[in-house]
Structure 1
Amino acid sequence: MTRVLVIGSINMDLVVSAGKLPRLGETLMGEGFATYPGGKGANQAVAAARLGAQVALLGCVGNDAFGAELRQHLQREGVDTACLHSVEAATGIAVITVAGGDNAILVVPGANHLLQPAHLDAAEQAFIDADVILTQLEIPLETVQHAAMLAARHDKPLLLNPAPAIPLPEALLAQIALLTPNEHEFLTMLAQPDADWRALLVEQPGKLVMTHGRHGAYYAMMRGKLLHQPGFAVEAVDSTGAGDTFNGALATFLPLGLPLAVRRAGAAGALSVTRHGAQGGMPTLAELDAFLERQP
């Protein structure tokens, strides 16, 4: 059982469905409303836990109803919340309007932006106990940098899912064991938006896995040789959370070696799009194993 420490965001997603997206200044009648647990940190923690990892989540929620509900939800999913701090700020939210195949999203980070390096120092034992550490960029960059420093101190591999995409300092890039961007995030984090991603990827063997939607994932194990894990054919219903499922799975299966971990992560991500909801579609280990048994 892989011990995964996830450091990241926890949100409540507020989802409104409508016949069309409102224009500026326009008021429309919505068709439905629902709340769903979200945030990249929480999503990836749940994905890893469902796939059999022993997961601890380090982050911040508010002292409010959403914070209490999200904490209880994570505990029901088997995620250790001992390092989940309640702070004097509103729990992070994402307001999502969905109309047909389009959506508009407004994120208010709230408590997520109060996760500080001091919180990580107080949880240093969690770094010592972990086999793999996983983080993203919905928390302050200085906190991510501190996580990289603590991971290096304890010789633990740190996976960074660089989303939302921003240019990253070279010193941070050098400390990351594995980066997991999509194509846009890959070129943005390197501040080379017009570069050939294939050429860049093969110069970083074993350090980068680039997801490419239904086309699967690309990575290199030796310099100059690009490897491709093809996507899995499924009937897609909702792609929300597929990337987070991939990352949670990759962290879970990383001890099996990168090629097998990428294959299993790709399959988990594919399964996640066959059901609605970011966390609602995340597969269990039994579901993943059964799916892979049916693959050529």
Structure 2
Amino acid sequence: MQQHIQVTIVGSSNVDITALMARLPGPGETVLADSYQLSPGGKGANQALAAALAGAITEFIGAVGNDSHAGIALGQLEEAGVKLDRVTRASEPTGVAIIQVDSAAENSIAVVSGANSTVTGEAVQAAGSIEGILVLQGEIPASGIKAAMDAATDRIVLNLAPVIELDREYLLKANPLVVNEHEAEAVLQQLNPQLNLEFAGKYERLAGLLVDEGIDSVVITLGANGCLVADRAPLENGGAQVRALPAVKVKAVDTTGAGDAFTGALAARLANGDDLAQAAEFAGKFAALTVQAHGAQASYPRSLQNL
């Protein structure tokens, strides 16, 4: 019997080149690294793997190049059973992320889009219908994001990272919008450029304002401080209802890909029927497991026994 897709991710797939070092270099500075590794990454592929490992029947739609990096980029998705039939081979090389990680688990990342730049509106339209909850990020062209939203038949999880320009009508399709505190401010500025953002650090208000602007639900991730979940209050004419969810306390080794793990796991639990707060609580626990090991996809839990 054919299984129906529960989560579809349209997005980026990269190979991560990660250098591990005592501290990150400053501008113009060279720092010797202890080691490096090649591993699969890209926000879209990371989220697809997380969704699959969190229990959802998952499809990934994206693009890789005709090069040796393509196999690395897709290898762990294939092992996890993610459907890859609509991943195209582009003339551009497979996307690459160049990552530096220091001993305190802080990182800096430079991304070369490569084949991900070909995931345009035309390409997404050619891919056809989209089944299940749709998950999107900001590492493909805006036209591809909009085409995917137009083709969606279920709720849309929009992780607008990095923040790119989207028309208001498309920002308002997010349910939820998943962003960190900096991305949340940037999205709010897109929705209301006249708004005075003199509330840095007041994240509950920030979440509420995004809902007040017309987004059905919002999750603001705050790293070691957990996350905020905001949606419309159940009372008639009620404003935004904002809830704080604490983080699981762990010793972080490498935070690369943790936000993607959160988003993918969140989508999986929403597909399973959890409400947003329940899904975010599970996603926080899932993401906490990933920061205790190096790498993005390699650090994602292969068992849910500890969740």
The TM-score bracket by the shorter chain reads 0.7 to 0.9
Check whether the contact 1:238–1:275 (CA below 8 A) recurs between aligned residues: yes
Tell me how far apart the structure 2 counterparts of residues 57 and 148 of structure 1 sit (CA, whole Å): 15
Check whether the contact 2:117–2:140 (CA below 8 A) recurs between aligned residues: yes
RMSD of Structure 2 on Structure 1 (CA)? 2.2
Tell me how far apart the structure 1 counterparts of residues 30 and 274 of structure 2 sit (CA, whole Å): 52
1:147 counterpart = 2:117: no
Q: Which runs of 5+ in 1 are unaligned?
A: 292-296
State which of 249, 256, 264 in structure 2 corresponds to 1:240: 256
Q: Which runs of 5+ in 2 are unaligned?
A: 190-194, 234-238
Partner of 1:16: 19
Q: What is the one-letter code of the residue matched to 1:139?
A: I
CA positional deviation for 1:22: 5.2
Check whether the contact 1:12–1:38 (CA below 8 A) recurs between aligned residues: yes
Tell me how far apart the structure 1 counterparts of residues 219 and 33 of structure 2 sit (CA, whole Å): 39
Tell me how far apart the structure 2 counterparts of residues 229 and 30 of structure 1 sit (CA, whole Å): 36
1:219 counterpart = 2:229: yes
Partner of 1:83: 86
1:228 counterpart = 2:236: no
State which of 250, 270, 286 in structure 1 corresponds to 2:304: 286
Check whether the contact 1:202–1:219 (CA below 8 A) recurs between aligned residues: no
CA positional deviation for 1:37: 0.6
Partner of 1:51: 54
Report the secondary structure of 1:119's partner residue.
helix
Check whether the contact 1:52–1:285 (CA below 8 A) recurs between aligned residues: no
Any idea what the Cα deviations from partners look like across 1:70-127, whole Å, max 9, x if unmatched?
Answer: 23332112211101110101110012233433544321110001112222223223x1
CA positional deviation for 1:200: 3.9
Report the secondary structure of 2:160's partner residue.
coil
TM-score, normalising length from structure 1? 0.87
Query: Does the C-alpha gap of structure 1 residues 44 and 224 become closer, same or farther in structure 2, counting only changes over 3 Å?
Result: closer
Q: What is the one-letter code of the residue matched to 2:282?
A: R
State which of 72, 75, 79 in structure 1 corresponds to 2:75: 72
How many corresponding residue pairs?
Answer: 283
Q: What is the one-letter code of the residue matched to 1:178?
A: P
CA positional deviation for 1:233: 1.6
Matches within 5 A, 1:95-174: 95-101=98-104, 102-125=106-129, 127=130, 130-151=131-152, 154=153, 156-174=154-172
Report the secondary structure of 2:295's partner residue.
coil
Q: What is the one-letter code of the residue matched to 2:126?
A: A
Check whether the contact 2:76–2:297 (CA below 8 A) recurs between aligned residues: no
Query: Does the C-alpha gap of structure 1 residues 162 and 237 become closer, same or farther in structure 2, counting only changes over 3 Å?
Result: same
